[in-house]
Structure 1
């Protein structure tokens, strides 16, 4: 796996790309270091990576369980230390699953597998001491 970061302007705005796709991701620093709000911040990308890694597996597992999923959204919140490096201490994922007669029990089992067994981002963060919790809301 290879990625590239290209500086876009004289500030701290970068465009990230992957060797496996043509998709671009804009990354920017905080205003304190010259960021201009032109992209997501690196630690936000970490939360997005955890959420997307988990939800892709969650959807796959729910489909295998023959659950009729109409929509899935995730809210992810993380707390960081006050000292540098400001690493995450804990992260909470909140999955909102909409569908037709989706079983909460099956969704909870699927989330357990998706987050804690199949998501490599979870394992990397947890190995670093980050406490990761989640909850499922089915409607």
Structure 2
């Protein structure tokens, strides 16, 4: 089994610096809770991690399927509980593609494989939240 390790150092106020290999991620809180709003708060970074994980899967799978696109992005939303510990109990990923030669079936297969087989972040988050997804190609949801 591969082991990963990151470090998170307190800087000041409510700010922390996360170190992943040679990369820095600065986090802070909103002013109303003592921060200076100089970086994202931690929970939305979970959504960013989800997007990165599934996004990389989909890019790799579509390349193998010889599918070319003009643009690809994801919009990821998370709904938090009102009570503490506040956490995401619903997460939705919208995969958005633009490209004239895209095969809807292949795009759907790539996204399904990522969500159901390959993306470890999706797998982990599904243990704690309802995770749904949709696919939009050239402005139409499939």
Instruction: Tell whether 2:62 aligns with 1:62.
Output: yes
Give a deviation string over 1:101-135, Cα, whole Å, max 9, x none: 1111111111011122111111111112x111111
* TM alignment of 1:116-135, pairs within 5 A: 116-128=116-128, 130-135=129-134
Shift of 1:34: 1.1
Shift of 1:96: 1.0
Gaps of 5+ in 1: none
Alpha-carbon RMSD: 1.3
Give a deviation string over 1:56-104, Cα, whole Å, max 9, x none: 1011101110001232111100101111011111100111112341111
Look up the match of 1:92.
Answer: 92
Look up the match of 2:26.
Answer: 26
Between the aligned partners of 1:29 and 1:5, the Cα distance in structure 2 is 15
Look up the match of 1:3.
Answer: 6
Look up the match of 2:15.
Answer: 13
Gaps of 5+ in 2: none
Shift of 1:13: 1.2
* TM alignment of 1:34-45, pairs within 5 A: 34-45=34-45
Look up the match of 2:53.
Answer: 53
Count of aligned positions: 135
Shift of 1:29: 1.9
Q: TM-score, normalised by structure 2?
A: 0.88
**Following superposition, which runs of at least 4 residues in structure 1 exceed 3 angstroms of deviation?**
none
Q: TM-score, normalised by structure 1?
A: 0.90
Between the aligned partners of 2:117 and 2:17, the Cα distance in structure 1 is 31
Between the aligned partners of 1:46 and 1:80, the Cα distance in structure 2 is 12
Give SS of 2:108's match.
helix
